[in-house]
Amino acid sequence: MSAPDLDMKKVEEIAHLLFGKIDGAMTCALAMIGDRLGLYRALADGGPQDSAAMAARTGLHERWVREWLHQQAAAGVIDFESGRFSLSPEAIEILANEQSALFSAGVFESVVGLMKTTDTIDDSFRTGIGASYDSFGPEVTRGIERMFAPFFRTRLVPEVLPTMDGVVAKLEAGVKVADVGCGGGIALIEMAKAFPASRFHGFDNSEMALERAATNFSDAGLSNVTFHDASVERLEEDESYDLITTFDCLHDMTHPTETIGAIRRSLKADGTWFVSDIRGHSTFEENHAEHPFAGMLYGFSVLCCMRSAAATEDGEALGTLGFTEDVARRTAEDAGFTKFVKHDFDNPLNDYYEVRL
């Protein structure tokens, strides 16, 4: 068979694009190493320095530190001038300050963890059945927790809760709260610290996430939070909750519609359901044309979110971009909710909804 006539300029463009993606993958892996070994923290604390100073500060081998610095500088992540390497103030907030609202290094841990699971995904393409969240491993669980923790620690209590009608006053007086899909429990812990009169319950079916939640809870020294294994202890459908939250988890669930129905039956008549989920458009065509992170999010979907949501044969398999505003409105209405308010907290990855009966 003769070779087709090729547009060599187009070949070059495609090759350049793909090798750029490989560059990104390598940078992601080395960023995870830098986060895990404290290399970014050492740059933040020590200011401009060479590889010998970095090795002395971290207790690591100079030759390996030097090669890591070279890659990170060549990739444009860190700065290099006059033989010394440094982090800009902006990069410090993103890569080294875990208490900052901008901290994002957790995502590298989760991405590298997901890459390790690709050798088991072929059967999902053949059968349509995904895998449990715990099968992705502890790096993914921990990394995703660290991805969302900065928002919970810096914005949930002072900024998000006050936007919801009457919620803060109820929390101050003492009410019953549930976080469904609580993960490592950071959102609950932050609320529990701020509102000691209220009781907080976290539900998740991931053993790894619940282990993280137990550790975080112990470290916080609180007494008003209880975590529940949702695979054996379901949300009580007794109209006893004043506030129920679902943070970035409905699109991961095998049966989100069933969960929304349970939330409806668990809320008091004047209760509030607060939802955050991934921002996306209603169609692929719109995401393809307009969503700046569509490629990344569809990648997360195949490796993690849709994979988890298709873990059972009858799973709804929404995927990362599957719980859009129109889906949220429709499923809320079908469950019996009548009030739906969208909030904007200037987060390019998330939408937020306040839902009531």
Of 65, 97, 129, the last residue of a domain is 97
Of 30, 64, 97, the last residue of a domain is 97
Q: Are residues 211 and 263 in the same domain?
A: yes
User: Where residue 91 falls among pLDDT bands split at 50, 70, 90?
Assistant: very high
Buried-state track 275-314, b at ≥16 Cβ within 10 A, e below 16: bbbbbbbeeeeebeeebebbeebbebbbbbbbbbbbbeee
Mean pLDDT (the chain) is 96
For residue 156, what pLDDT is reported?
98
- Span of 5-9, 66-70, 83-87 with lowest mean pLDDT: 5-9
Residue with tokens 């936007």: 163
% of residues, the chain, pLDDT over 70:
99
For residue 4, what pLDDT is reported?
76
pLDDT in tens, 306-347: 999 999 999 999 999 999 999 999 999 999 999 999 999 999
Position 107 in a domain: no
Q: Are residues 221 and 287 in the same domain?
A: yes
For residue 3, what pLDDT is reported?
61
| DSSP-assigned beta bridge partners for residue 79 | 86
- Of 1, 105, 101, 129, which Cα lies nearest the Cα of 43? 105
Of 97, 129, 144, the last residue of a domain is 97
- Section 253-264 average pLDDT: 98
Q: Are residues 134 and 72 in the same domain?
A: no
pLDDT in tens, 281-304: 999 999 999 999 999 999 999 999
- Section 216-244 average pLDDT: 96
- Section 218-230 average pLDDT: 97
% of residues, the chain, pLDDT over 90:
99
Position 110 in a domain: no
Position 109 in a domain: no
Q: Are residues 222 and 333 in the same domain?
A: yes
Q: Please, how many CA atoms are within 13 Å of residue 98, restricted to the half-sphere of its CB?
A: 12
Q: Are residues 72 and 125 in the same domain?
A: no
Position 244 in a domain: yes
The yes-or-no verdict on residue 208 having pLDDT over 90 is: yes
pLDDT in tens, 9-66: 999 999 999 999 999 999 999 999 999 999 999 999 999 999 999 999 999 999 999 9
The domain spanning residue 206 has which CATH number? 3.40.50.150
Position 241 in a domain: yes
- Residues with Cβ within 8 Å of 352's Cβ and at least 6 positions away in sequence, in order, are 160, 274, 275, 276, 342, 343, 344, 345
Q: Are residues 60 and 127 in the same domain?
A: no
Position 106 in a domain: no
Q: Are residues 60 and 209 in the same domain?
A: no
Full residue range of the structural domain in which residue 19 is found: 8-97
For residue 1, what pLDDT is reported?
44
Q: Are residues 140 and 229 in the same domain?
A: yes
Q: Are 357 and 338 in contact (CB under 8 A)?
A: yes
Instruction: Note the pTM of the prediction, 2 decimals.
Output: 0.94
Q: Which amino acid is at 19?
A: F
Q: Are residues 91 and 135 in the same domain?
A: no
| Tokens of residue 253, six digits | 């669930």
Q: Are residues 20 and 76 in the same domain?
A: yes
For residue 341, what pLDDT is reported?
98
Which runs of E-coded beta strand occur in 156-205?
A: 176-180, 199-204
Q: Are residues 330 and 233 in the same domain?
A: yes
pLDDT in tens, 167-201: 999 999 999 999 999 999 999 999 999 999 999 99
The yes-or-no verdict on residue 146 having pLDDT over 80 is: yes
The domain spanning residue 76 has which CATH number? 1.10.10.10
Q: Are residues 34 and 160 in the same domain?
A: no
Position 111 in a domain: no
Position 113 in a domain: no
Tell me how many domains the chain contains.
2
For residue 2, what pLDDT is reported?
52
